[in-house]
Amino acid sequence: MEDVQNNSADKSYGAFLFGYPHLLPQMQGEALAHVFSKARKMMQDGGIIVLDLNGVPESDVQTIYGSMCSASILQSDPVLGPALSHVDILHMNEDELMNLTGVQLNGDEIRDSVTLSGAASLFLKCGVAIVAVTRGKKGCFIKCNNEERFSSSKMLPSNWINEEVSVPAAILPYGAEINSNGAGDSFTAGLLVATMLRHTGINITVESSSPTKSSPTKTLSPEGEEEQNLDHSIDSLDGLSVGSGSTGKKLTPYSLYMRENYIALKSQCSDDKKSIFSQCHEMWENCEEEVKQMYERRCKEELEIGKETPNTPTAKDVSTKSPKKTPVQDRSTNLHLVNQPMNLETAIQFASLVAARHIDTSTRDFTHLNINRIREQSTASPHGLEEI
């Protein structure tokens, strides 16, 4: 770290990620706190400090089975205690959470959500800003601290203050071969990148590759109309580069859900649009109510942002002007979006997609990831990131 600091005159650092203190006897307790304190001083605006856990032993905390320990017990933990107040993002899986706090998760989602929230609160009381608990196929739970704690870490997104959300796991393509080793590491890296990303405020409209064709008027049943809308949406989704505003259709929680599951369903249904529609509809109907409410909140946020750019031409508007394909037709700057971070649910989805690419053996060994594309898959926002 001293070598890095001595050679950092022409560089700035934004984050410090450290993992597995339980497996490193010389990097525990006060030693770990010292390293975090030193890292904080050498980063721009204090940066973001991330701690990723692994190798947490079974709990020897003396509590009644299934009951929760106290924050004071965590603060006296010989491995983590002194360092917790320095940590901006703490990641662990649910087994590690149970080992550290003494709680038990029994598979009842309602009770487990209450238990997760209570256990995460213990770490917030110890000074952690954001607690992320990955749960395998059950997705991820994240709870954030208050305004006072966030104010001490200027790099953290202020719109995450006091947030608490659960997000389903990303769906992999049908038949994908999986190697789950390192899933938590890749999720943590993805969450850190999502935490640091900021919108440039630049909106880009991409022109359609062919002129708009007129079609005869048809009378459709509600089901047929919904399928036609899906057909239009799927055509736009194929390249994963056209935002939700480009189809001219109003964004809904269901269309947002459809967009996020399209890649997996396209492979699973062999690109059969009717099968994609049917499967997606069935999945949506079987979603838990809290999942649907999450998509409603995200949809509302995207629509609110969309109101700020009413004069940006849509892909449909542009495509009627010329049959020639132009990479970029329009650029405009929306001051409302400049330096805007992702919302928390979108950031979790982003991290989940990064992890999905890591555990899928067909993409596991890629040396680069297209952050823009993952960002587009994470949300139905019509405002893409022009630069990172």
196 in a domain, yes or no? no
Q: pTM for this one?
A: 0.68
Query: Rounded to whole angstroms, how far apart are CA atoms 46 and 54?
Result: 25
Amino acid (1-letter code) at residue 143: K
29 in a domain, yes or no? yes
What CATH number does residue 146 fall under? 3.40.1190.20
Query: Rounded to whole angstroms, how far apart are CA atoms 344 and 348?
Result: 6
In a shared domain, residues 139 and 206: no
In a shared domain, residues 161 and 241: no
In a shared domain, residues 350 and 206: yes
**In terms of residue numbers, what domain contains 26?**
13-167
144 in a domain, yes or no? yes
Query: Rounded to whole angstroms, how far apart are CA atoms 182 and 189?
Result: 11
- pLDDT for 212: 40
In a shared domain, residues 160 and 248: no
Span between the terminal Cα atoms of the chain, in Å: 26
Query: Rounded to whole angstroms, how far apart are CA atoms 269 and 221?
Result: 24
> Domain tally for the chain?
2
197 in a domain, yes or no? no
In a shared domain, residues 272 and 370: yes
* Number of residues in the chain: 388
- pLDDT for 9: 66
In a shared domain, residues 150 and 240: no
Query: Rounded to whole angstroms, how far apart are CA atoms 68 and 25?
Result: 26
Q: Are 361 and 355 in contact (CB under 8 A)?
A: no
In a shared domain, residues 135 and 279: no
- pLDDT for 277: 82
In a shared domain, residues 150 and 53: yes
120 in a domain, yes or no? yes
373 in a domain, yes or no? yes
In a shared domain, residues 252 and 138: no
Query: Rounded to whole angstroms, how far apart are CA atoms 130 and 95?
Result: 18
Residue by residue, pLDDT tens for the chain (388 residues) are 777 777 766 678 899 999 999 999 999 999 999 999 999 988 988 999 999 999 999 876 555 555 788 899 999 999 999 999 999 999 999 999 999 998 988 888 889 999 999 999 999 999 999 999 999 989 999 999 999 999 999 999 999 999 999 998 888 888 889 999 999 999 999 999 999 998 877 765 544 444 444 333 333 333 343 444 444 444 444 333 333 333 445 778 888 787 777 766 776 777 777 888 888 888 888 888 877 887 887 777 767 655 544 444 443 343 334 444 444 445 566 676 778 888 899 899 999 999 999 999 999 998 888 888 888 788 643 333 333 2
In a shared domain, residues 239 and 359: yes
In a shared domain, residues 112 and 206: no
178 in a domain, yes or no? no
**E strand or H helix that includes residue 274:** helix 273-285
227 in a domain, yes or no? no
In a shared domain, residues 346 and 297: yes
Strand stretches in 271-370, DSSP E? 330-333
Q: Write out the two tokens for 133.
A: 């608990």
